[in-house]
Amino acid sequence: MQPLRGTKDILPYEIKFWQHIYNIASKILFINNYHEIRTPVIESTELFHRSIGNFTDIVSKEMYSFIDQGDRNITLRPEGTASIARAFISNKLYSNNRINRFWYFGPMFRYERPQKGRQRQFHQLGIECIGSSSPIADIEVIRLAIKILDELQHKEYIVEINSIGNIEERNKYTTLLRNYLNKYVNDLDEDSKKRLVNNPLRILDTKDPRTQEIILKAPKLKECLTLESINHFNNVCQHLNSLNIPYQINDNLVRGLDYYNYTAFEIKTTSKNAQNTICGGGRYDQLIEQLGGPKTPSVGWAIGLERLLLITKETLSLQNQYITIYIIYKNDQINDDLWKIIKVIEKLKINFELDLSNNNLYKQLKKASQRKSKICLILGEDEINNQYVTVKWINTSTQQRIKIHQLYNYLKYLKKHYLNLT
Ligand code: ATP
Ligand code: MG
């Protein structure tokens, strides 16, 4: 049997990359007072209709929704922000009257055409800074995404940024844009024709060359921005300058979700072409209120882990984890001594593997060397009768006899001086 189209098993040899990213992110975010939050993978479908917007790609064609046995309409979450806003409201997390900083890591689901860096179950690492309208909060979150990329030694990226204004400004612009595009309606691609009715802003990031040409001469969103929006945006850009974060203003960046306002940004890698957007984010000042909570301006982003891994795997040189101690024993002689030894090794936090093959000692020893272990502990007949273990160094084949009651001190010494263990 095969996994479902667009889904992938993450195998043990790849887990070290996932854990590495998780560890790096959690350290950086901890220092910056971001707290991990885990929300359910399933939510009521209505949550996404009310937050992401009915005419967005996600809601109109990418959601995994189903009716459960209790006739509830349920959706596998396609992104994290809506769930966090919901959790913020249903757990009354606003009652502490503080800025709440959260981060999350987990699977998301979108019914899309699978390709490199695009899956139906994929993973996002995301952060949300909830409760501030200051442009400094926008910079705080952007800087943290950059910090994580830097720490992962990925240097080839650019931040694309735009201000999409507030709702009134966007409505005003939508009318201008629709009027302009109506003149060219026959030249638009099919997708854009549909969007012209429901979601004309999305036409701005069309991939169709003819539509792109038409867009070039279209009115610009920034022409509809008021001073307040412009100041917010200029402020963000000034800080990007002083932080030396490479960025580009992209007038056509609108992002796929309805709930954004003011700052919208994406981080793109310049090292590969296919699916080069690794992070998307922006400000969402109305979302929490729109879902029934108090007015709470917020800003955040999400990084696609599969895409991040594609570009960082090559630069990260993570050690292969070999086992340190291989334990072999003559299995018809098994007695409590085996468990005594295992408990000693565990106590010292050294990793080990116990041979379970039923083979003779010679074959077991061969396995120890194939497994690239450093030392092998042998518990044979003579060892058991005389209460010792034989320690054999795989590289040099030298061996020593160590009394079982001295094994702890012996291994402790080895761990410190010879086994290169941390
Ligand atoms: P795209 O334009 O590539 O479809 P998006 O705008 O739909 O991206 P967001 O909703 O902003 O994506 O999600 C944030 C990040 O999550 C993206 O930048 C990307 O790295 C990742 N992502 C989104 N959809 C997928 C997917 N189907 N498979 C893998 N990663 C994804
Ligand atoms: Mg998408």
pLDDT tens by residue, 184-210 = 999 999 989 988 988 899 899 888 999
Nearest Cα neighbor of 128 from 63, 79, 77, 58 is 79
**pTM of the complete model:** 0.91
Amino acid, res. 412: K
Q: Which domain, by its residues, includes 281?
A: 12-165+225-312
Beta-carbon count within 10 A of 313 CB: 12
Q: Which DSSP string do the residues of 32-79 spell out, in sequence order?
A: TT-EE----SEEEHHHHHHHT-TTSHIIIII-EEEE-TTS-EEEE-S-
Q: Which DSSP string do the residues of 58-69 spell out, in sequence order?
A: IIIII-EEEE-T
Mutate to test the pocket of ligand 1, among 127, 307, 308 (most ligand atoms within 8 A of CB): 307
pLDDT of residue 155: 87
State the residue for tokens 């929704």. 65
For residues 305 and 391, state if they share a domain.
Answer: no
Ligand having the closest approach to the CA of 64? 1
| More confident call, 130 vs 417 | 130
Query: Looking at the predicted structure, is the pLDDT value of residue 180 above 60?
Result: yes
**Using an 8 Å Cβ cutoff, are 129 and 319 in contact?**
no
Instruction: Examine residue 205 and state whether it is found in any structural domain, yes or no.
Output: no
pLDDT of residue 334: 62
Tell whether 260 is in a known binding site.
yes
For residues 280 and 364, state if they share a domain.
Answer: no
pLDDT of residue 333: 60
Instruction: Examine residue 105 and state whether it is found in any structural domain, yes or no.
Output: yes
For residues 285 and 373, state if they share a domain.
Answer: no
Number of domains forming the structure of the chain: 2
pLDDT tens by residue, 38-87 = 999 999 999 999 999 888 889 999 999 999 999 999 999 999 999 999 99
Query: What percent of the chain has pLDDT above 70?
Result: 98
pLDDT of residue 422: 44
Tell whether 81 is in a known binding site.
yes
Query: Looking at the predicted structure, is the pLDDT value of residue 256 above 80?
Result: no
For residues 407 and 370, state if they share a domain.
Answer: yes
What distance in Å separates the CA atoms of residue 81 and residue 126, rounded to the nearest whole number?
8
Question: What CATH number does residue 368 fall under?
Answer: 3.40.50.800
**Using an 8 Å Cβ cutoff, are 130 and 102 in contact?**
yes
For residues 132 and 105, state if they share a domain.
Answer: yes
328 Cβ inside 6 Å of ligand 1: no
Question: What CATH number does residue 69 fall under?
Answer: 3.30.930.10
pLDDT tens by residue, 355-384 = 999 888 899 999 999 988 999 999 998 999
84 Cβ inside 6 Å of ligand 1: no
What distance in Å separates the CA atoms of residue 385 and residue 330, rounded to the nearest whole number?
12
| 59 Cα: distance to centroid of ligand 1 (angstroms) | 14
Least confident of 65-74, 104-113, 150-159: 150-159
Q: What is the mean pLDDT of the chain?
A: 93
| More confident call, 321 vs 229 | 229
For residues 332 and 299, state if they share a domain.
Answer: no
For residues 393 and 257, state if they share a domain.
Answer: no
| 28 Cα: distance to centroid of ligand 1 (angstroms) | 23
